[in-house]
Structure 1
Amino acid sequence: MAVAPLAGRRVLDLGALCAQRPHALAASMAARLCAGYGAEVVRPLPSGGEPFAATPPLLPDGGSALDRFLNAGKRQGATTGRFDVAIGDRASLAAHAEEVPVKARISVFGPGEEDPPMTELGLMALSGLFGIVGEAPPAPPARLAGHQVSYSAGLAACMALLAALLAGGEEVVDVSLLDVAAWLNWKVAAGVMVMGSAPVRGGARVTWFTVPAKDGHMALVYQDKDWPPLRDLIGDPRLRDDPRFATGPARGANRAALLEVIGPWFAARTRAEITAAAQAKRVPLGPVKWPVELLDDAQYRARGFLAPDGMPALPVGWDGQRLTLEGNRADAG
């Protein structure tokens, strides 16, 4: 059995006291990870109660799935007492955690900069993520699903806290939400360095999309090397003979025409039939599943990703073993 690395540590989760939603989400996720690593996590609440209590998505009982996920393994409590770690924004840390030796401070731009009003949409726009997600202009950009920017900042904060605790002493860990969002968008920087220009949404080479099937949708995410077996799988001679479909850029420039050709083949088959046929030819197509279907997904079951009630597991491991909230025991995995 592995010993949880934060067993015996007390963490003050100030996420509910943060002034802005991205900071609150990031701090709450960092504390959630700390709980997974064995810490006792205390979450003080404002006078109005838990800020995520009514945040969608809502469960059948009316509760918030976000609240249930982010606050699993924590307990409500006051800011008094001894804590090893505190996580929050500048104001909450200054008001409630002056004596805590190790702090994670969430901000938009980092130390020395005042926090402007900010949303997760604003962070995606500032970091350039809006430039690559969604259909080509004039269609509006698309946001990333869920809270990927804030959750990634929470992961960064947790990893930095683990390093600070290992080093010992007092330390303030600064996590910039914008820096994390820019890191998530590393392909833009890489594209500029390698090709001299940044990728843009709906570019000529983009031929990834979802296609209606008989019982849902299929996701087409493939490389140029996968086009010949995909073309043969569908079996329409136009895909071989029409020059509009001969190359990746040509298919990207003629997406509407391509969809007209391949659409009927997908629409006439179920997701399971398409997946089996694609796997036989090693074509990387995947079914788009409803959330309830994921509970019975073979891969998710094998990985223990979802509990029977739908609660997702966290990828929290230590010494090669997965740590769980239940007693902070180690399970093989």
Structure 2
Amino acid sequence: MAGHGTLAGIRVLDLTSVLMGPFCTQILADHGAEVIKVEGPEGDTTRQLPVMAAPAMGAMFTNLNRGKRGLSLDLKRPEARAALLRLAATADVFIHAMRADAIERLGLTYADLAAANPRIVYANVYGFSRRGPYANGPAYDDTIQAMSGMAALQERMQGAPAYSATLVADKVSGLTALYAVLMALLHRARTGEGQEIEVGMFETMANFVLTDHVNGALFEPPRGEPVYGRAASPNRRPYRTADGWIAALIYTDKHWRAFRRVADEPAWMQDPRFATLGSRAQHIGEIYGRIGETLARRTTADWLAALNDAGIPAAPVNDTADLLHDPHLEAVGFFVEQESRYGRLRYPGMPAWFSRTPGRITGPAPALGQDGRAILAEAGFGAAEIADLEAGGALIVPAAPAEAVP
């Protein structure tokens, strides 16, 4: 299948579901890879999450799996496994999100795939590395946020452990899987060697959280607790103004001097504890509180104008609906609108821009199994073989394309 963008010509067998793996492969598809979404007879669970574009076409699924082709196989049947291994001989990447014991039972380990295609990049993406005691444990975004220390850090700010309002563990892990796959493809381009890679959500989020919060625990013996105080301060939050909210960061000494001018230098700013970045960092909770008292005296519009004119980072507090009409996102063409059999769809666009090999959103997610016959035919399966797979229940094809939900 002809591609576009940087990854044109790369074929990916995508056995992932929900968010982590599909987010990784969505980006591969946006940048030209042929991504074949391989689902079981029941389909990816996110197909059923409202709001629905069509039956079994939830909005999250429709976006995360955009631009992919659909193949549905009952991999518990040996003939379906054999078909997938045959297809793998034509693929560059195989990515799955099954636990290690499950993929082994199916006979689809790296050794099995490499026997069919030694050049394949085989990616395991799941909750925990196989090499530790948590291997094969169930993992979801909420539990990984809790285990990685992220939820506990919110307790310092909010008074109780809390989850992020976006599925950050899934998405950060999906991005980690993306760069791991691309590095393995680069290695293959240089050496001709395929390889197996593994991305665990727990390990990914431990790295993500501790990148800044390792802090004093970087040293042995430790010189302080593993917390970056500024980031976890209970006063680090949007500031209330006279008529709303504002986000502002008075951080560097240059910011501080400018803020003293635009705030008419109230008396508390004379405190020597706040004179330098280092001394302010040692009293970050108190200074956040004092800044909040000052910002509460004027309107959001007044502060935005004054702070931006002074070169101090400041921004309005948008909600997600505001993003749909943000003038900057509109100017850069961030949202991509397309007609589809489900009606007009508006996709959140690609954040990376390429001057020579731009990506492109090529359409909504596939209906369950919609491209199965064509994919197998392109891989060299004869019409009789495909018919036998379908008749035996190994290949699942849709009776008719899903229509939009009114």
Is the pair's TM-score, using the shorter chain for normalization, greater than 0.5?
yes
1:220/1:31 Cα in 2 relative to 1: closer, same or farther (>3 Å)? same
The aligned counterpart of 2:372 is: none
Report the CA distance between 1:281 and its aligned residue: 0.8
Look up the match of 2:218. Answer: 193
> Do structure 1's residue 128 and structure 2's residue 122 form an aligned pair?
no
Contact 2:230–2:236 (CA<8 Å) still a contact in 1? no
> What CA deviation, in whole Å up to 9, does each residue of 1:91-136 have, x standing for no partner?
5644274436332101333233422122223322332333444544
2:19 pairs, out of 17, 20, 25, with: 25
* Other-structure match for 2:246: 218
Q: CA deviation at 1:316?
A: 4.8
Q: Which residue of 2 aligns with 1:263?
A: 296
- Listed as ranges, the matches of 1:312-331 within 5 Å are 312-316=348-352, 321-326=357-362
Q: Is the aligned partner of 1:305 residue 2:334?
A: yes
1:295 pairs with 2:320: no
Q: Distance in 1 between matches of 2:166 and 2:196?
A: 28
- Point out where structure 2 has 5 or more consecutive residues left out of the alignment: 74-82, 338-344, 364-406
Equivalent position amino acid for 2:308 in 1: Q
Structure-to-structure mapping, 1:161-310, within 5 angstroms? 161-166=181-186, 167=188, 168-185=192-209, 186-193=211-218, 196-197=223-224, 198-199=226-227, 208-213=236-241, 216-225=244-253, 226-235=255-264, 237-240=266-269, 248=280, 249-250=282-283, 252-253=285-286, 256=289, 258-265=291-298, 269-270=299-300, 272-307=301-336, 310=346
Sequence identity (%): 24
| 1:240-273 deviation digits (Å, cap 9, x = unpaired) | 35789776344623655653443232xxx24x44
**Is the partner of 2:315 in helix, strand or coil?**
strand
Q: Which gives a bigger RCO, structure 1 or 2 (Cα 8 Å, sep 6+)?
A: 2
Aligned to 1:20: none
Change (3 A) 1:196 1:145: farther
Matches within 5 A, 1:49-198: 49-55=43-49, 58=51, 64-79=58-73, 80-81=83-84, 82-83=87-88, 84=91, 85-88=93-96, 89=98, 90=100, 93-94=103-104, 95=106, 97=108, 98-99=112-113, 101-113=120-132, 114-133=135-154, 135-136=156-157, 139-166=159-186, 167=188, 168-185=192-209, 186-193=211-218, 196-197=223-224, 198=226
- Cα contact 1:245–1:251 (8 A) shared by 2: no
Alignment gaps of 5+ in structure 1:
17-23, 328-333
> What is the deviation of 1:218?
1.0
Shift in CA distance, 145/314, structure 1 to aligned 2, threshold 3 Å = farther
1:15 corresponds to: 16
Residues 32-56 of structure 1 show CA distances to partners (whole Å, capped at 9, x for unaligned) of 1221231222223344443113446
Matched residue, 1:331: none
Which of structures 1 and 2 has the bigger CA Rg? 2
Distance 1:30 1:205 in 2: 32
Number of residues of Structure 1 aligned to a counterpart in Structure 2: 313
**How far off its partner does 1:279 sit?**
0.9
Q: Is the 8 A contact 2:335 2:346 kept in 1?
A: yes
User: Are the equivalent residues in 2 in contact too, given 1:134–1:202 (CA < 8 A)?
Assistant: no
Distance 1:211 1:253, change over 3 A: closer
Q: Which moved more, 1:282-291 or 1:92-101?
A: 92-101
Aligned residue identity for 2:246: M
Alpha-carbon distance, 1:179 to partner: 1.9
Preserved CA contact (<8 Å) 1:131 1:201:
no
**Kept after mapping to 2: 8 A contact 1:109/1:115:** yes
Contact 1:221/1:285, CA 8 A, preserved across alignment:
yes
